[in-house]
C-alpha cells in the first residue's frame, strides 16, 4: 500500500471550503479604525433581541448574530461536515476526488470509531478550544488594578483592603508567575503559530507523512485506492523540506531581533519614565503622544475588535505590519479597517495575507472605504470602480464591510446607494458602513434603501474624543464621543439604535490632547498636528486648541497621575468600561510600534477606573460642556440630498 504524500491531496482530505483570504482586514475594529470577541471585558448588559418579525422599518438581527458568532458558526459547520463523513467512515469530498482513504498507522487497517472521533476532535474542536483557552488564560493572569468597582453586575475587590495594609491573598511567587505568563503568552502563541507550523511542514516533506497535526496525533495516514504509475511516485519533496528549514531559520532570526528590539524599547521608555518621576506606565502615555503627533504619511489602517477595542496603525511595509496583526490575533481579535485614501495600506495588507498561516488569514475581516473627494467620487461609476480597485489591490474577492467614507454632496444619495447595492448583490462585500454622515443623512439613507430594497447600513464610524461639541446635529456631518464629549453621541446613538447600527469611534485621544502633553500657554509644538507646518492644523486647532479644553485636560491629567495611571490609558479604560458604548460598538486607538500596540491592548484589557477618576472625567466634561464648535457642517442645502 502506498501512502499519499501530496500536501494538496492530504490537505484536501480534511479541509472544508473557506472564504478565500478575502476574509477581511479592518477592528475595532480602526479615520482610522483592529473585531473579535474579547473575553476580558466585564460582562456587558444583555443584548436586546426583538422577538417580533422584522419589517421594513425594523432590521433583521440575523446579520449581527452571524457576525458576532462567526467563529462558532464555522466550527459548528465543520463539526457537522466531518461528523457526516469521517466519523461515519465515509470519504470527504477531497478524499473521494483524490481516490484516497484513511488507515491506522499501527494496524494498517481502517481506523476505529474511537480513532476517527479523536481525529475530528483534534482537527475541528481543538483549535477553537485552544483559542478560547488562551484568551481565558490571559484574562486570569491579567494584573488587577489597585481599585475596582461593581459594574455590570460583577463584584470587584474592595480597595479599602489595600488601604488598610491587608496582605494580598495571592502569594508573591504566583503573582510573578501570572505576570510572566501574561507578558509572554502572545509572543509564544505567535511563535508556535508561525514557526511551529513551518517546522511541522518541513517534517512532512522529509518523511512524507502526517500533513496535519491532527493526523500525527491520532496516527492516521492515507493510502491510494489504486496502484500508482511510475510517474506518480513521490520524489523531490525533501528539497521543499530543506527550503522550509532555511525559511524557518531566517524567520527565527527576525523574530529574535523583533523581540530584543521590543524589550529594549520598553526598557528605554521605562528608564525615561523613571527619570521623569512618573512611573513605568508612562510608556503608554509617551507612545500615544508619538502616534497622535505623527503625520499620516505611512500605511494607515485599523485593527478593530468587536468588544470596544480597536487600534489604528501607522507603519511602513509588510515586515512592520505583519507582527502587529499577529499580536492582534493573539489577543483574540480579527477585524482590520483600511481605506483607499490610506496610502498603500491595502497593498501592504495583501502581502500580509499571503504570509500569514491560512487559518489566521481566514480569521481576518477586512473593511475598506470609498473617499468623497474629489467631488463626483460617489457617482455610480466611481463607487464601483473604487471597490473593484480595492479588491484587486487586496487580492480578495470580497470584503467584510464597505464604507462610504463621508458625504459627497455633488452626487445624489440615490445614485451612490444604487451603486453600493449593485456591488452588494454581486457579492463584493458583506455589510455596508457609513462614516461621518449627519443624522438627517442617516435617515435619508435608510428611507432610500427601504423604498428601493437596497442593502441597509450596519456600521457607523464617527470621531470620538474628550471634548464636548454642541453642534447642529441635523446638519453636522461628524459627531464625537469620548469621556467629556457625550451629547452629540447620545443624540446620534438614538438613531443608530433605531436602526440597530453598530458605532465605532475614532480619534479618542483628541489628536494627542488627551495625552496631557499640550499646554495652551506653551503653544503648539513642532511635529504635532497643531503646528502651522501640519497639513491639517487649521482643523485640529479649530476643534481642540481651546484654553478651556486644555485646562480641563490638565486637571484631569493630574487626577490620573495621582492614581498612577497615564492619562491616555485612563481615557481608553473610561471609553471601554464607563461610557455608553455597548458590546457591539468599538473604540479606535493609536499604535505606531509593536510595543505600543501591546500596551494599548493591555490598557483595554484592564478593569474599570477607580471611582475618583470616574468623577474626574465627569467634572472635566462638565467644565467644557458650554463650548459650541462646529467640526464639519453640510455645505449644501439638505434639499439637494
Active site residues: 342
C-alpha–C-alpha distance, residues 640 and 411, integer Å? 9
Which residue in 295, 308, 333, 266 sits closest to 585, CA to CA? 308
C-alpha–C-alpha distance, residues 528 and 525, integer Å? 6
C-alpha–C-alpha distance, residues 15 and 17, integer Å? 6
Evaluated on CA atoms 441, 447, 449, 455, the torsion sign reads positive
Q: 25 has which bridge partners?
A: 366
Which residue in 22, 8, 18, 7 sits closest to 402, CA to CA? 22
In terms of C-beta density within 10 A (0-12 exposed, 13-18 middle, 19 or more buried), how is residue 100 classed?
buried
C-alpha–C-alpha distance, residues 337 and 395, integer Å? 16
Asked whether 498 and 456 are in contact (CB, 8 A), the reply is no
For 592, the grid coordinates are 505606531
C-alpha–C-alpha distance, residues 124 and 33, integer Å? 32
The dihedral over CA atoms of 443, 447, 450, 454, expressed in degrees to the nearest 10, equals: -80
SS3 of 618, please? Answer: helix
Asked whether 436 and 405 are in contact (CB, 8 A), the reply is yes
What is the CB-side half-sphere exposure of residue 513 using CA atoms within 13 A? 29
Q: What H or E segment, with its residue span, contains residue 367?
A: strand 365-370
For 320, the grid coordinates are 512592520
Q: 403 has which bridge partners?
A: 369, 433
Phi, psi angle pair for 461, to nearest 5°? -110, 130
Q: 482 has which bridge partners?
A: 485
Pairing of strands 100-104, 220-224: antiparallel
For 636, the grid coordinates are 449644501
Instruction: Name, in order, each residue with C-beta under 8 angstroms of 550's C-beta and a sequence gap of 6 or more.
Output: 513, 518, 519, 520
Alpha helices in 29-89 (DSSP H): 62-68, 70-84
Phi, psi angle pair for 402, to nearest 5°? -115, 120
C-alpha–C-alpha distance, residues 328 and 598, integer Å? 8
Instruction: Name, in order, each residue with C-beta under 8 angstroms of 526's C-beta and a sequence gap of 6 or more.
Output: 533
DSSP string, 174-218: HHHHHHHHHHHHHHHHHHIIIIIHHHHHHHHHHH---SSHHHHHH
Please name the residue that has the C-alpha cell 459547520: 77
C-alpha–C-alpha distance, residues 418 and 508, integer Å? 33
Question: How many other CB atoms are there within 10 angstroms of residue 430's CB atom?
Answer: 21
Amino acid at each position: 500500500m502506498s501512502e499519499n504524500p501530496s500536501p494538496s491531496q492530504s490537505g484536501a482530505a480534511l479541509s472544508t471550503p473557506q472564504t478565500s483570504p478575502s476574509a477581511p482586514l479592518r477592528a475595532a475594529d480602526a479615520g482610522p479604525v483592529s473585531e473579535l470577541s474579547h473575553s476580558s471585558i466585564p460582562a456587558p448588559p444583555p443584548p436586546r433581541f426583538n422577538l417580533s418579525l422584522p419589517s421594513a422599518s425594523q432590521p433583521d438581527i440575523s446579520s449581527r448574530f452571524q457576525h458576532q458568532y462567526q467563529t462558532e458558526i464555522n466550527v459548528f459547520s465543520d463539526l457537522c461536515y466531518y461528523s457526516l463523513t469521517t466519523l461515519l467512515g465515509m470519504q470527504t469530498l477531497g478524499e473521494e476526488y483524490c481516490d484516497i482513504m484513511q488507515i491506522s498507522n499501527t494496524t494498517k487497517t481502517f481506523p476505529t470509531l474511537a480513532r476517527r472521533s479523536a481525529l475530528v476532535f483534534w482537527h475541528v474542536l481543538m483549535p477553537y478550544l485552544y483559542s478560547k483557552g488562551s484568551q481565558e488564560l490571559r484574562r486570569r493572569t491579567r494584573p488587577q488594578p489597585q481599585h475596582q468597582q461593581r459594574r455590570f453586575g460583577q463584584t470587584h475587590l474592595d480597595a479599602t483592603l489595600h488601604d488598610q495594609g491587608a496582605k494580598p491573598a495571592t502569594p508573591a511567587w504566583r503573582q510573578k508567575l501570572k505576570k510572566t505568563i501574561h507578558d509572554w503568552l502572545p509572543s509564544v502563541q505567535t511563535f508556535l503559530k508561525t514557526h511551529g507550523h513551518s517546522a511541522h511542514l518541513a517534517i512532512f516533506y522529509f518523511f512524507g507523512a502526517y500533513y496535519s497535526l491532527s493526523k500525527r496525533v491520532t496516527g492516521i495516514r492515507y493510502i491510494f485506492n489504486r496502484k500508482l504509475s511510475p510517474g506518480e511516485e513521490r520524489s523531490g519533496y525533501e528539497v521543499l523540506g530543506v527550503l522550509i528549514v532555511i525559511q524557518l531559520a531566517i524567520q527565527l532570526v527576525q523574530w529574535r531581533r523583533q523581540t530584543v528590539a521590543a524589550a529594549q524599547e520598553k526598557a528605554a521608555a521605562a528608564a525615561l519614565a523613571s527619570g521623569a518621576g512618573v512611573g513605568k506606565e508612562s510608556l503608554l502615555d509617551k507612545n500615544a503622544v508619538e502616534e497622535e503627533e505623527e503625520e499620516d504619511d505611512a500605511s494607515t489602517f485599523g485593527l478593530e475588535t468587536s468588544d470596544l477595542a480597536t487600534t489604528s496603525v501607522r507603519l511602513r511595509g509588510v515586515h512592520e505590519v505583519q507582527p502587529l496583526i499577529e499580536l492582534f490575533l493573539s489577543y483574540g481579535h480579527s477585524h482590520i479597517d483600511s481605506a483607499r485614501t490610506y496610502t498603500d495600506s491595502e497593498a501592504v495588507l495583501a502581502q500580509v495575507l499571503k504570509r500569514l498561516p491560512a487559518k489566521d488569514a481566514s480569521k481576518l475581516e477586512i473593511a475598506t472605504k470609498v473617499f468623497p473627494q474629489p467631488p463626483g467620487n460617489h457617482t455610480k461609476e466611481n463607487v464601483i470602480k473604487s471597490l473593484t480597485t480595492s479588491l484587486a489591490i487586496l487580492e480578495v474577492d470580497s470584503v467584510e464591510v464597505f464604507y462610504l467614507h463621508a458625504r459627497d454632496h455633488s452626487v445624489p444619495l440615490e445614485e451612490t446607494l444604487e451603486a453600493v447595492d449593485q456591488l452588494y448583490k454581486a457579492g463584493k462585500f458583506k455589510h455596508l458602513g457609513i462614516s461621518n454622515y449627519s443624522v438627517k443623512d442617516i435617515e435619508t439613507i435608510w428611507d432610500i434603501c427601504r423604498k428601493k430594497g437596497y442593502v441597509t447600513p450596519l456600521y457607523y464610524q464617527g470621531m470620538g474624543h474628550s471634548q464636548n461639541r454642541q453642534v447642529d446635529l441635523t446638519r453636522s456631518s461628524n459627531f464625537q464621543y469620548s469621556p467629556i464629549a457625550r451629547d452629540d453621541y447620545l443624540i446620534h446613538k438614538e438613531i443608530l439604535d433605531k436602526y440597530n447600527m453598530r458605532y465605532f469611534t475614532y480619534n479618542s485621544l483628541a489628536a494627542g490632547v488627551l495625552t496631557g502633553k499640550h499646554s495652551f500657554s506653551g503653544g503648539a509644538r513642532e511635529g504635532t498636528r497643531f503646528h502651522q507646518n501640519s497639513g491639517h492644523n487649521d482643523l485640529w486647532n479649530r476643534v481642540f486648541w481651546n484654553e478651556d479644553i486644555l485646562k480641563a485636560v490638565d486637571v484631569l491629567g493630574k487626577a490620573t497621575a495621582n492614581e498612577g495611571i497615564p492619562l491616555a490609558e485612563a481615557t481608553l479604560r473610561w471609553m471601554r468600561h464607563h461610557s455608553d458604548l455597548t458590546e457591539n460598538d468599538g473604540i479606535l486607538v493609536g499604535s505606531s510600534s509593536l510595543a505600543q500596540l501591546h500596551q494599548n491592548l493591555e490598557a483595554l484589557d484592564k478593569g474599570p477606573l477607580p471611582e475618583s477618576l470616574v468623577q474626574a472625567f465627569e467634572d472635566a466634561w462638565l467644565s467644557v460642556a458650554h463650548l459650541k464648535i462646529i467640526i464639519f457642517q453640510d455645505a449644501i442645502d439638505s434639499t439637494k440630498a
